[in-house]
Amino acid sequence: MAKLLKTTGWVILFWTVFLPSLVGQAETTAFSFDDYGAVLQEFVSPKGLVNYGNLEVNPKKLDDFLHALAQVHPEDFTKWPVPQQIAFWINAYNSLTLKAVIDHYPIKASFWRSLKFPRNSIRQIPGVWTDLQFPVMGRRMTLDEIEHDILRRKFNEPRIHMALVCAAMGCPPLRPEPYVGEKLNDQLNDQARRFLANPKKFKIDRQEGQVYLSPIFKWFGEDFVRTYGTTAGFSRFPPQERAVLNFIQNYLSKADQDYLFKGDYAISYLGYDWSLNEGPDK
């Protein structure tokens, strides 16, 4: 009898403690980014350029992934760790941007938009961020909703601006692999390094006494204040620029860090290249 009770106890312990834990782990890893990863591997170059022409002709893997986005249940999503949730929404935004482009490819430029933006720009697609709706997690939403109402509002992670790609050359490069929760911190840090290493996105000109920043840091500077605005340093700059500089210095050489800390320079913002981030095969 004692042996039976002991065995029964282990069975109860398994069902009440270990099994729910194992199920929870399965739920956090159930969603797969494999189809999206295959798209990135086939159609995105190491520099982050997209072969939209080939992708438009061969969209199956992308369509399969977007179908999977639509099927995710909100209750399941809430059980995922926060990094996995952020990775999901970054991948959703970037993949749906690819979809928006190939659905309008080749892009038809309007006369009036061409007075301000390149003829091959995503800005030529009417309502691309505000009007086009896509099924995600059981409801229809726009790209602006994903970026501004979800990623920016619900998560304190300003490094998303190093990962969200709006199909323009001025954006960060499209990473040729999906973002995943267990590697998200390293992936976002790598994206920041790559972005800041590009002189078209960030540049120090000691001779002119100028530090040039991507306009991304002007548009979204407020998102950096909560995490980086309280760090000591750069006190002569307004709060948003101080926070951005505190963020940027983490990814620079010691010499560049020292120059920034001395503060004997002015900040200027670079132009934004709205040309399509299009390129040939790898």
Q: Beta strand pairing status for 266-269 and 210-213?
A: parallel
- Same-domain check for residues 45 and 168: yes
Distance CA 216, CA 129 (A): 16
Helices and strands of the chain, counted as H and E runs: 15, 5
pLDDT at site 23? 42
Is residue 4's pLDDT more than 50?
no
Count structural domains, the chain: 2
- Same-domain check for residues 74 and 140: yes
Residue 123 in domain:
yes
- Same-domain check for residues 11 and 43: no
pLDDT at site 268? 98
Is residue 226's pLDDT more than 70?
yes
Domain final residue pick, 152, 184, 216:
184
Is residue 12's pLDDT more than 80?
no
**Which of 202, 203, 228 lies closest to 216 in space, CA to CA?**
202
The pTM of this model reads: 0.89
- Give me the half-sphere count of Cα atoms (radius 13 Å) on the Cβ side of residue 104: 22
Residue 13 in domain:
yes
User: Omega before 199 cis (within 30°)?
Assistant: no
Q: Can you give the residue range of the structural domain that contains 116? A: 32-184
Instruction: Give pLDDT tens digits for 133-191.
Output: 999 999 999 999 999 999 999 999 999 999 999 999 999 999 999 999 999 999 999 99
Of 21-25, 53-57, 106-110, minimum mean pLDDT range: 21-25
Instruction: Give pLDDT tens digits for 172-185.
Output: 999 999 999 999 99
Percent of the residues in the chain that have a pLDDT greater than 90, as a whole number: 85
pLDDT at site 281? 55
Is residue 28's pLDDT more than 50?
no
- Same-domain check for residues 91 and 136: yes
- Same-domain check for residues 124 and 144: yes
Residue 231 pLDDT class (50, 70, 90 cuts): confident
